[in-house]
């Protein structure tokens, strides 16, 4: 053990730990979820700290000897090393101060090693004076959240792109499979299975654009605002420079907010992202539930889709297979929507110059993004790729339906069409049979009118 102290007193820290006394206090104080800080957030923090060190060296405030050691330490974390040195619970008081100090201590102790000095020699490399130079938790932590969110949002967009592309492939494959469209869970008018798949793809693409727009706001950061946005202890040249360095480190363009005070005390950009995730989740739930309904059966349901068989469905009913992949996408989306409520409450609970609820906001946004990304990839890989249409079942339901009579309106009028529908419902006869028995249309003309193209494409003449 080694002894470290802060202004509250002295504690013993394990000799092999890169974290220090302030991390140890937070570890003891906050044992809430049983989880640790998101690894992506840790690496986003390292990127922010590297950018700050580079900017401070360029302004001449940080010596190259210490600055370069801090940069090397940050690079190691960005490469996936030292991640076990961040043991803190993601839900914590202090607006993220504990996470910031955890990173400052790890960077300082690793920098000390790189300089040939023992860990804990904060008189040489200080977590507060050097690793946190020209910074505050109140600009570092929200900036790191934004960097992390942007990376996770990019993964979600990639998953949504995969989903949309596969739906578009199914749309083309099923373009000639005519089936019954339904409204109010009742027979409506015909549609092709390809058109349904294309509609799902269109809605998913809209989700991509929605998340893209929310992601743009994440690239405006308050680095250099320090404690409350006034820039106390930050050199004027450092403020725009640190955003430039962050852009270089991350490969994404970050800019300094025009009003740093606003950007420090308001967190509405996080609500905007959460809202985009919620809206997208709702679209996915609708789609997954439609798949479950269309795959219902296989003998006593709609049975229009054949889902891949992924596992036995019952501990008591032999041969039963359930739509578990569609079910798990639903649940992933429910969880994302639940996260949205926590984000909403966190965003509204800022006071004056700071929102201290950023830890719970970040934790829930990360959870929503992870759930949606994993749920979508699972749906594509384990359901959609191997999905099959039951063309015979689609045709059988269509043949039994009276809804196709709607296509006859321009040709025989509403009254005769209604009479046809009534007779078909009453007798149980297929609508085509009733038409022929009444001698209303020649068979060839009837088949032309009731063809998939005529019934599903606007403006097609008989």
Active-site residue numbers?
314
Residue 36: partners with Cβ closer than 8 Å, 6 or more residues away: 86, 87, 88, 89, 90
Identify whether the C-beta of residue 37 lies closer than 8 Å to the C-beta of residue 45: no
Alpha helix (H) residue ranges in 251-350? 260-265, 268-294, 324-348
Radius of gyration of the chain (CA): 30
313-317, Cβ contacts within 8 angstroms, sequence gap of 24 or more = none
From the centroid of its chain, how far is CA 352? Answer: 30
Question: What is the three-class DSSP state of 403?
Answer: helix
288 three-state secondary structure: helix
Interatomic CA distance for residues 83 and 100, integer angstroms = 14
Do 167 and 201 meet the contact criterion of CB atoms below 8 Å apart? yes
Task: Find the Cα–Cα–Cα–Cα dihedral 393, 305, 291, 309, rounded to 10°.
Answer: 140
Write the DSSP symbol of residue 408. G
**What's the distance, CA 285 to chain centroid?**
14
Reference 99, options 67, 125, 137, 135; nearest CA is 137
Count of CB atoms situated within 10 Å of the CB of 346: 24
Q: What are the beta bridge partners of residue 4? A: 11
Residue of 193, 204, 389, 373 lying closest to 308 (CA atoms)? 389
What is residue 268's three-state secondary structure?
helix
Question: Exposed, middle or buried by CB within 10 Å (0-12, 13-18, 19+), for 67?
Answer: buried
């Amino acid at each position: 053990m080694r002894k470290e102290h802060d202004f509250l007193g002295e504690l013993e820290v394990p000799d092999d730990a890169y974290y220090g006394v302030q991390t140890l206090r937070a570890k003891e104080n906050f044992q809430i979820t049983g989880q640790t800080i998101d690894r992506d957030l840790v690496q986003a923090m390292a990127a922010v700290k590297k950018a700050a060190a580079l900017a401070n060296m360029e302004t001449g405030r940080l010596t190259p000897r210490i600055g370069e050691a801090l940069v090397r330490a940050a690079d190691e974390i960005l490469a996936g090393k030292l991640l076990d040195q961040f043991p803190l619970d993601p839900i914590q008081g202090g607006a993220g101060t504990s996470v910031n100090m955890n990173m400052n201590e790890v960077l300082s102790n690793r920098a000390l090693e790189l300089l040939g000095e023992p860990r804990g020699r904060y008189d040489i490399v200080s977590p507060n004076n050097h690793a946190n130079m020209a910074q505050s938790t109140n600009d570092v932590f929200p900036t790191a959240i934004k960097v992390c969110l942007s990376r996770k949002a990019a993964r979600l967009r990639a998953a949504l792109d995969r989903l949309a592309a596969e739906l578009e492939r199914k749309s083309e494959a099923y373009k000639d499979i005519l089936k019954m469209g339904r409204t109010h869970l009742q027979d409506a008018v015909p549609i092709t299975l390809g058109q349904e798949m294309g509609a799902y793809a269109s809605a998913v693409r809209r989700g991509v654009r929605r998340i893209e727009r929310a992601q743009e706001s994440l690239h405006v950061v308050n680095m250099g605002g320090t404690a409350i946005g006034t820039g106390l202890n930050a050199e004027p040249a450092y403020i725009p420079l640190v955003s430039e360095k962050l852009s270089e480190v991350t490969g994404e363009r970050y800019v300094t907010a025009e009003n740093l005070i606003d950007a420090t005390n308001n967190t509405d950009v996080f609500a905007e992202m959460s809202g985009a995730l919620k809206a997208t989740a709702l679209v996915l739930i609708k789609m997954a539930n439609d798949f479950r309904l269309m795959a219902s059966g296989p003998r006593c349901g709609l049975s229009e889709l054949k889902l891949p068989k992924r596992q036995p469905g019952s501990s008591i009913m032999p041969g039963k297979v359930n739509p578990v992949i569609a079910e798990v996408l639903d649940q992933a989306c429910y969880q994302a929507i639940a996260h949205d409520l926590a984000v909403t409450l966190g965003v509204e609970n800022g006071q004056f110059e700071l929102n201290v609820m950023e830890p719970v906001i970040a934790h829930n946004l990360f959870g929503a993004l992870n759930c949606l990304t994993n749920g979508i990839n699972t749906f594509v890989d384990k359901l959609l790729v191997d999905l099959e249409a039951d063309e015979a079942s689609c045709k059988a339901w269509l043949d039994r339906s009276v809804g196709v009579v709607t296509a006859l309106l321009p040709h025989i009028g509403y009254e005769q069409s209604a009479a046809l529908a009534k007779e078909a419902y009453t007798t149980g006869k297929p609508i085509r049979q009733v038409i022929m028995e009444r001698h209303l249309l020649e068979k060839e003309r009837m088949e032309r009118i009731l063809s998939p193209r005529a019934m599903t494409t606007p403006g097609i003449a008989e």
